[in-house]
Amino acid sequence: MTQTSSSVLKRYTSLTAAIDMLVHERITLLSPSSWEDKNDIAFMDAYRQKRGIPKVFAACFTQASETFHHWGVFANGNEGVRISINKPEFLRSLVGQHCYLWNDVSYKTLDQLADLKTLSVYELPFLKRFAFKDELEFRLICESTDPYAAFHHVPLRREWITSIALSPWLPTNLVDTMKEVLPKLPGCSNVRVIRTNIRDHQKWQAAIGRVADESDEGLRPQPL
């Protein structure tokens, strides 16, 4: 599947991770062993073994438009956030550092996977089942030569963060607090903090005012 080109990488994560990212100007790559999808874990571990390296760390992003699925699965609850990152600037900073690999995820059906006679080892970290295609995922991985490492930090300058969206479940009074507090972190005065309106959009709700009072029999649902 060919992905839609995007200049923004969106990372759905926790408020704690966002604060760490802002304060220390870094994004943390973790072991895929903790991922939910066991298929992904198997492919990443096969990549590590084929490459003969002790550890592989990864971070996942989406290039898709906002969906309730992203919030519910990757940033659920009051502490969820979406961090939008300038993709060209971020990736430009990694060019020439050979421990990093990145690419769009390629989505395959079981039949398509079976039709592939061979797989390049470098395809393994970026393959996923077709059922996940709507995620439009982008992955960054790091090959680590340290067998004892538990994570890997990638430098990420604050100015590459275009916005931080707060959880749709965060109470309004805490939204106001976060909008006040986050820009007060060192060097973060220009950080744009918003709240997603995916569950509470005024323009969407305003359409109720255009509903006619009279019954429209032509649109009335018919019994099955």
pLDDT digits (tens, 9 = 90+) for 149-181: 999 999 999 999 999 999 999 999 999 999 999
Read off the pLDDT band of 208 (50, 70, 90): confident
Could you count the other beta carbons within 10 Å of the beta carbon of residue 199? 11
Residue 2's pLDDT is 44
C-alpha–C-alpha distance, residues 198 and 142, integer Å: 33
Read off the pLDDT band of 209 (50, 70, 90): confident
Which two tokens mark 108?
């395959």
Burial of residue 201 (number of CB atoms within 10 Å: 0-12, 13-18, 19+): exposed
Which two tokens mark 92?
């430009």
pTM assigned to the model: 0.88
pLDDT of 27 above 70 = yes
Q: Which of 107, 104, 102 has the alpha carbon at shortest distance from 1?
A: 107
Residue 215's pLDDT is 59
Element (H, E) at 129: strand 127-129
Which two tokens mark 113?
């996977």
Q: Where are the domains of the chain?
A: 8-207
Element (H, E) at 60: strand 55-62
- CA angle, 84 then 4 then 82, to 5°: 20
Read off the pLDDT band of 137 (50, 70, 90): very high
Residue 54's pLDDT is 96
pLDDT digits (tens, 9 = 90+) for 41-81: 999 999 999 999 999 999 999 999 998 888 988 899 999 99
Residue that the structure tokens 């395809």 belong to: 123
pLDDT digits (tens, 9 = 90+) for 71-124: 988 899 999 999 999 999 999 999 999 999 999 999 999 999 999 888 899 999
Q: Which of 15, 4, 5 has the alpha carbon at shortest distance from 169?
A: 15
In this prediction, residues 196-209 reach a mean pLDDT of 83
Choose the weakest-confidence range: 1-15, 31-45, 83-97: 1-15
Residue 210's pLDDT is 78
| 3-class SS of residue 171 | coil
Maximum average pLDDT range among 86-90, 204-208, 219-223: 86-90
Upper half-sphere CA count for residue 93 (Cβ side, 13 Å): 14
Read off the pLDDT band of 1 (50, 70, 90): very low
In this prediction, residues 10-32 reach a mean pLDDT of 96
C-alpha–C-alpha distance, residues 56 and 30, integer Å: 8
